[in-house]
């Protein structure tokens, strides 16, 4: 199975509110909120860490869930977020363009 | 407000998060609108570095919606640097307020590239002689409309903001038609705001009762006129426990000099970001917390008013009248024009006027003349 890399779309507006992300699409200003799992994906989407590693370290560590099931759900979620242009996905690492939301620089 | 936005705002309120901030980048302006409440001299605007630092603090505090306004924002040479930082480094949802006369094709393209939620442009009339007579800049209507078209051609969301005054009272249908033709949105505001230094002379530019009454009965503006103008139902306990508005609760305003206020229309100083952290002012300012503590049931005259549950009462305008817990006469006028029912404040003023009528007694009048 090929690796999947995720990268936050720098054109969205995004902020964490009480541990969950609010995201406004840069394409059409549609507003989304991400649940805790999707928030973990968003915050880990640095373009360099493959999805299976994110799932292994951040999701299976946080929730009691089978690795294969978690990976399938995460991939489906990542593709859905990519469809809304909230995330970029690729089978090769994606170059970082901007700083990470909510991270201290 | 959409359901999700409402839900997020309520969550921000519960967590004491400043969800939305208006930041004025400058009070300098290239128009001289006759009703403007600002002093356009530069008294020491924040530098680029200070503004970026403030944006960092606001992002860390949880601010999501950032409105950049002025004065005219495009007069700042570092405007695009600030905007890029706010959008691409700190991921704010950015709204702009501008007269747009400095926006040409290249600026519109750059705004598209950076991405903004909306651009609000002040348009007072469809007639150049009226619009330009208000801005006091010949040719300004044409330039603002050209800009609106450039922005629209980039796929950006544009909103015309039309302030209703005696000069342009009859022109709002023309502005709306023009907005429709260009394909942009349009808002109408019948409130003229006192100057920030308290000078109320500009209020004379506001429209009178009859015009307000007509506007509130324009189906194209208000939708269901019968519903909009209905006599208000008595307020129940729940509505009396409601918040007067978002100022200090989920929103605040920062001036170009770093002063923080509950709202752009509420000139109660609460702190300065050059001396204090933004979040400390938001959370701990005595003034911010005083405004935050007020519920509709705490209002002096308004609690007994039949309009209390449906009035657009602005706490900032009430503050400028002398009491942040008191009525805002301009909103009393609006409630009256809308429903035909005078507000408690209007009735009290009428009673007071009847009580203090002065009648000159001839003998005393003679004595006064002798003293003079």
Closest-CA residue to B62 (of B99, B5, B126, B15): B15
The domain segmentation of chain A, as residue ranges, is 5-90
Distance from the A33 Cα atom to the nearest Cα atom in chain B, whole angstroms:
8
Q: Which fold has domain A5-90?
A: Outer Surface Protein A; domain 3 (3.90.930)
The alpha carbon of residue A21 and the mean position of all alpha carbons in its chain are separated, in whole angstroms, by 10
Q: Which residues does chain B have within 8 Å of residue A33's beta carbon, measured at their own beta carbons?
A: 4, 8
Q: What is the pLDDT, as a whole number, of residue B276?
A: 98
Q: Which residue has the higher pLDDT, B362 or A48?
A: A48
Q: What is the pLDDT, as a whole number, of residue B356?
A: 65
Q: How far apart are CA A49 and CA B330, in angstroms?
A: 58
Q: Tell me which residue in A11, A26, A33 faces B8 most closely, judged by beta carbons.
A: A33
Q: b or e along B20-38 (b: 16 or more beta carbons within 10 Å of the residue's beta carbon)?
A: bbbbbbbbbbbbebebbbb
Q: How far apart are CA B60 and CA B55, in angstroms?
A: 8
CB contact under 8 A, B8 and A14: no
Q: Is B154 a residue whose pLDDT tops 80?
A: yes
Q: How far apart are CA B54 and CA B24, in angstroms?
A: 12
Q: Tell me which residue in B17, B117, B157 faces A24 most closely, judged by beta carbons.
A: B117
The DSSP bridge partners found for residue B349 are: none
Distance from the B19 Cα atom to the nearest Cα atom in chain A, whole angstroms:
9
Q: Tell me which residue in A12, A17, A98 faces B8 most closely, judged by beta carbons.
A: A17
Q: Tell me which residue in A10, A16, A18 faces B88 most closely, judged by beta carbons.
A: A10
Question: Tens of pLDDT along B40-81?
Answer: 999 999 999 999 999 999 999 999 999 999 999 999 999 999
Mean residue pLDDT across chain A? 86
Q: What is the pLDDT, as a whole number, of residue B371?
A: 45
* Residue from B91, B92, B110, B114 to probe the interface with A (highest A Cβ count within 10 Å): B91
CB contact at 8 A, B254 and B273: yes
Q: Is A104 a residue whose pLDDT tops 60?
A: no
Q: How far apart are CA A26 and CA A33, in angstroms?
A: 14
Interface list for B 101-130 with A (CB within 8 A): 115, 117-118
């Amino acid at each position: 199975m090929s690796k999947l890399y995720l990268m936050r779309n720098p054109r969205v507006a995004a902020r964490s509110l009480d541990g969950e992300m609010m995201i406004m699409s840069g394409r059409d200003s549609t507003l989304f909120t991400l649940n805790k799992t999707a928030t973990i994906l968003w915050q880990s989407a640095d373009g360099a860490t493959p999805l299976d590693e994110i799932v292994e370290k951040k999701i299976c560590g946080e929730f009691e869930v089978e690795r294969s099931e978690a990976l399938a759900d995460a991939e489906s979620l990542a593709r859905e977020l990519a469809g809304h242009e909230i995330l970029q996905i690729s089978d090769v690492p994606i170059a970082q363009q901007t700083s990470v939301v909510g991270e201290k620089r | 407000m959409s359901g999700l936005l409402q839900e997020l705002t309520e969550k921000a309120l519960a967590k004491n998060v400043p969800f939305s901030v208006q930041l004025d980048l400058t009070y300098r302006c290239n128009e001289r609108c006759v009703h403007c409440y600002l002093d356009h001299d530069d008294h020491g605007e924040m530098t680029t570095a200070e503004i970026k630092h403030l944006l960092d603090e606001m992002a860390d505090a949880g601010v999501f919606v950032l409105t950049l306004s002025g004065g005219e924002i495009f007069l700042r040479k570092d405007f695009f640097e600030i905007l890029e930082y706010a959008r691409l480094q700190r991921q704010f949802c950015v709204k702009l307020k501008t007269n747009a006369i400095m926006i040409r094709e290249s600026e519109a393209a750059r705004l598209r590239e950076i991405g903004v939620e909306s651009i609000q442009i002040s348009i007072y009339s469809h007639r150049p002689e009226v619009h330009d007579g208000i801005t006091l800049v010949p040719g300004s209507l044409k330039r603002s409309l050209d800009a609106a078209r450039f922005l629209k051609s980039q796929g950006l969301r544009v909103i015309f903001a039309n302030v209703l005054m005696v000069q342009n009272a009859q022109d709002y249908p023309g502005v709306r038609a023009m907005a429709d033709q260009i394909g942009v949105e349009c808002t109408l505001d019948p409130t003229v705001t006192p100057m920030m230094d308290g000078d109320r002379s500009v209020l004379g530019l506001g429209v009178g009762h009859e015009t307000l009454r007509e506007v509130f009965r324009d189906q194209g503006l208000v939708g269901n006129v019968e519903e909009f103008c209905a006599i208000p139902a008595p307020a129940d306990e729940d509505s009396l426990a409601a918040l007067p508005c978002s100022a200090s609760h989920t929103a605040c305003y920062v001036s170009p000099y770093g002063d923080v206020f509950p709202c752009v229309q509420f000139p109660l100083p609460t702190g300065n970001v050059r001396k204090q952290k933004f979040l400390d002012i938001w959370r701990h300012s005595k003034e911010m917390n005083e405004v935050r503590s007020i519920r509709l049931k705490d209002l002096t005259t308004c609690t007994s008013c039949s309009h209390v549950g449906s009035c657009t009462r602005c706490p900032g305008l009430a503050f400028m009248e002398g009491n942040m817990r008191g009525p805002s006469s301009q909103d009393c006028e609006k409630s009256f024009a809308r429903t035909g029912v005078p507000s408690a404040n209007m009735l009290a003023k009428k009673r007071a006027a009847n009580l203090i009528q002065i009648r000159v007694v001839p003998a005393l009048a003679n004595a006064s003349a002798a003293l003079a």
